[in-house]
């Protein structure tokens, strides 16, 4: 079964969440069931870019990962778009056989039986500012499908309403390691691929989020920026 | 037994290493057996600041931590100077009794039996650019004393010589989670407490380190900046 691939790049470091700083190759799939207002990867989301997504088999994807990694197994990060829309079980089986480990990030809108084959699963349901609705039933189906994967919850926070939503949601899943991430105030877009992020505003949001979390004594929440945005300023392919 | 305290502050987030992003209160002890060339906390290191270090008992320290945390247990980070020079066992016992957890960072130059009471122990032996010598016997005594604590290795990298030293050292301890951290090119000093860090140079060092690690296929090394330096720009007490 073929997988819609937007880009494969790396090795670089993971810039977000539980595996921040870990060397990884990114496999980005094309196509998404969401359209978040502040999406920073619209080239892997909007149907008008469909022609840019290459259908690839698991073997061809792994061959490219192997070329980039120099044949030394590392963490492969499956991102999108929503990678949960793709048939990734064969890639996982093939990659594991060669010593690779796999992390995937998804919004939790579609569960697949193969989630349980992942080493790490980041569920990142979208907050009110995204314009997308949260579907608890689907989210919990994803959680259940995760099985033995290391599951963490990563919530993007753009404003006070998002923060309150995140607090309530996280309270319902006390068993999940929790990461809060300030929303990039100036993501690159297909129209402005070279757009520089507003580092000052990003830092202000981060400081606000730290103050909010510590002020509420919400010590379970881990606060992390998108490191790659701070380091590479929205650049693609790093 | 009294403990020499330079400062107690927080809650803020941990800016470095394995616990990056975790809300924590910092307890910084005064006094150090090292004097690294690029030390960013000389006010807790140089004997000329000794009069600023307050001798406090474990109960008084914990009372201050409790005041800052609002009485809700969180991670307490023991830093310095070199906190391993202090008698911290009573603080650890008392704090654990109230639900606190403890992380400590030390260069690994002095082992104490109470290291085994820590929840997290970061060993951060200093690279050649620090001007300090590495003593393997003492480092391994610290490692052994760590017992059941979660131990990680955090190495600061200022240049190519440091990088090569780090590679060789880390290879000898394959069991330890490994964090590489680019050296702050412009740390605050007692003479320039308001010094702004050189963010561009810091990012350049970080990019260089990511390139070096991925170029060498050294996928075990996790690369992280000092987040607090990026967010708060050398400011003290955050």
Percentage of residues in chain B having pLDDT higher than 90: 87
Pairing of strands B75-79, B54-56: unpaired
Tell me how far apart the alpha carbons of residues A46 and A42 are, in angstroms, rounded to a whole number.
6
Tell me which residues of chain B, numbers 93 to 112, contact chain A at a CB-CB cutoff of 8 Å.
none
Is the ipTM higher than 0.85? The answer is yes
Q: Residue B77's closest CA among B143, B22, B146?
A: B22
Whole-number Cα distances in Å, B63 to A110, A186, B93: 48, 43, 14
Helices A58-69 and A89-97 pack at an angle, to 10 degrees, of 40
Q: How confident is the model at residue A169 (pLDDT cuts 50, 70, 90)?
A: very high
Q: How large is the average pLDDT for residues A170-188?
A: 94
Q: Is B147 on the interface with A (CB under 8 A)?
A: no
Which residue, chain included where needed, has tokens 């202090």? B86
Q: How large is the average pLDDT for residues A156-172?
A: 98
Q: How confident is the model at residue B158 (pLDDT cuts 50, 70, 90)?
A: very high
Neighbours of A97 (CB within 10 A): 9
The one-character DSSP state at B101 is E
Query: Contact, B155 vs B169, CB < 8 A?
Result: yes
* A214 to B23: CB separation less than 8 angstroms, yes or no: yes
Phi, psi of B175 (to 5 degrees): -80, -15
pTM recorded for the entire structure: 0.96
Neighbours of B28 (CB within 10 A): 21
> What are B14-39's pLDDT values in tens digits?
999 999 999 999 999 999 999 999 99
Tell me how far apart the alpha carbons of residues A160 and A185 are, in angstroms, rounded to a whole number.
14
Q: Say what the pLDDT of residue A155 is.
A: 98
Query: Contact, B9 vs B25, CB < 8 A?
Result: yes
Chain B residues whose CB is inside 8 A of the A73 CB are 219
* A207 to B70: CB separation less than 8 angstroms, yes or no: no
Q: Identify the residue among A155, A215, A217 best suited for mutation to test binding to B, counting B beta carbons within 10 A and taking the highest.
A: A217
Query: Contact, A146 vs A116, CB < 8 A?
Result: yes
3 state DSSP class of B119: coil
The one-character DSSP state at B108 is S
Q: Say what the pLDDT of residue A196 is.
A: 78
The one-character DSSP state at B86 is S
Query: Contact, B123 vs B139, CB < 8 A?
Result: yes
Q: Identify the residue among B13, B25, B157 best suited for mutation to test binding to A, counting A beta carbons within 10 A and taking the highest.
A: B13
* B20 to A23: CB separation less than 8 angstroms, yes or no: no
A133 pLDDT above the threshold of 80: yes
> Which strands sit side by side in the sheet containing A178-182, from one edge to the other?
A54-56, A3-13, A23-29, A75-79, A101-106, A120-123, A150-157, A178-182, A221-223
Q: How far is CA A137 from the centre of its chain?
A: 20
Q: How large is the average pLDDT for residues A7-27?
A: 98
Q: Is B179 on the interface with A (CB under 8 A)?
A: yes
Neighbours of A173 (CB within 10 A): 15
Tell me how far apart the alpha carbons of residues A88 and A98 are, in angstroms, rounded to a whole number.
16
> What are B85-105's pLDDT values in tens digits?
999 999 999 999 999 999 999
Q: Is B170 on the interface with A (CB under 8 A)?
A: no
> What are A211-220's pLDDT values in tens digits?
999 999 999 9
Positive or negative torsion for Cα A9, A11, A14, A18: positive
Whole-number Cα distances in Å, A212 to A58, A216, A219: 44, 6, 11
């Amino acid at each position: 079964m073929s997988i819609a691939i937007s880009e494969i790049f790396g090795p670089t470091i993971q810039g977000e969440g539980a595996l921040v700083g870990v060397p990884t190759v990114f496999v980005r799939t094309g196509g998404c069931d969401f359209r978040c207002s502040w999406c920073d990867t619209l080239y892997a989301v909007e149907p008008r870019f469909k022609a840019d997504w290459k259908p690839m088999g698991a073997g061809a994807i792994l061959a490219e990962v192997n070329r980039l990694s120099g044949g030394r197994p590392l963490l492969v990060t499956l991102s999108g778009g929503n990678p949960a829309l793709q048939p990734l079980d064969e890639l996982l089986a093939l990659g594991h056989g060669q010593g690779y480990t796999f992390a995937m990030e998804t919004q939790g809108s579609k569960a697949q039986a193969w989630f349980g084959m992942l080493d790490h699963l980041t569920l990142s349901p979208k907050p009110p500012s995204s314009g997308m609705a949260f579907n608890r039933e689907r989210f919990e189906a994803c959680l259940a499908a995760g099985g033995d994967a290391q599951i963490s919850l990563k919530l993007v926070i753009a404003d006070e309403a998002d923060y309150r939503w995140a607090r309530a949601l996280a309270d319902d899943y006390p068993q999940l390691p929790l990461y809060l991430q300030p929303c990039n105030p100036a993501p690159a877009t297909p129209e402005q691929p070279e757009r520089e992020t507003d580092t000052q505003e990003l830092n202000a949001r981060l400081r606000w989020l730290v103050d909010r979390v510590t002020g509420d004594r919400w010590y379970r929440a881990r606060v992390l920026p998108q490191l790659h945005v701070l380091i590479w300023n929205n650049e693609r392919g790093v």
